[in-house]
Amino acid sequence: MNHRPEVVTTRSVFGAPCWVSLTTRDLTDTQDFYAAVFGWEWRQGSLGDHFRVASADGVPVAGLAGVAAMWQMAVAWTPYFAVIGADEAVGRVRERGGTVAVGPVSLPPGRAALLADRDGAAFGVWEGRLSGDWELWRSAAPALVRLHTRDAFASAIFYGEVLDWASDRPGSCEVHYEDGEVVLRSRGAAVARIGSGALEAAPDPTVRPHWQVHFTVADVAACVRAAELHGGSVLTKSAEQVVLRDPDGAQFTVFERRD
């Protein structure tokens, strides 16, 4: 019997990260790099020639948009959060001092917007149907996303109000304080962390407020070797994780999968 993934919409997982997308300048080189580092396979997205979708073991895991130069956008990984209503979320961002870069725009089977919080950290929201089985995406895609910001508690209040965290709605994400960070949990799993210490005016973009995407891998050392062989570089390294930069300048983190 063939397994048909359950249709999941953002109403059932609202507030949680539901997708990640990379904005880049060079589609071909970027696809080659992440295929070497993660073993991803690529196909053209439904949005046109400048867009691609990455798959791991047949599960769509990330988007790629080769529009950084054309649209004057930063080269970066961006997390998207599930919302019940994109228009309502965008309105909340404006009311709370954030900014709207794009949208909401209709991208069947849903609607999306690209935003920034009060400290300039970019993020997106998505309303509508999610790609395939959301639990499969969550296990095949990033283990979590982490916000480096000036004040973790102030940022948690901002995102909580925008994304309905810790609300009285059934299925709402839970917010905890663990190990010096604000931790967002969806269905019991930690899906986002917020930590203080970023400097808004720092010349180094890695120090300014930003969302960092964390990918779990079977072999961190192998990923690092592949990244360096294909034009990437190591930014920081610890016993638990390595922060890498791809050839176009986007940074991401890899850490070892633990069963």
201, pLDDT greater than 70: no
- The answer to whether residue 168 scores a pLDDT higher than 50 is yes
pLDDT category of residue 4 using cuts at 50, 70 and 90: very low
In a domain, 46, yes or no: yes
pLDDT bucket at 2, cuts 50 / 70 / 90: very low
What does DSSP say about strands 233-237 and 210-217: parallel, antiparallel, or unpaired?
unpaired
Confidence of residue 153 (pLDDT cuts 50, 70, 90): very high
In this structure, is residue 62 part of a structural domain?
yes
pTM: 0.91
Number of neighbouring beta carbons within 10 Å of residue 227: 24
φ, ψ of residue 34 in degrees (nearest 5):
-75, -25
% residues pLDDT > 70 (the chain): 88
Residues 205, 198: Cα–Cα separation, whole Å: 10
- Decide if 79 contacts 117 (C-beta within 8 A): no
Residue 9 has what pLDDT? 79
Answer whether residue 68 is part of any domain: yes
* Per-chain mean pLDDT for the chain: 87
- More confident: 185 or 75: 185
Range of the domain at 65: 16-256
Is there a domain that residue 49 lies in? yes
Split into its structural domains, the chain has a count of 1
Q: Is residue 180 part of a domain?
A: yes
167 belongs to a structural domain: yes
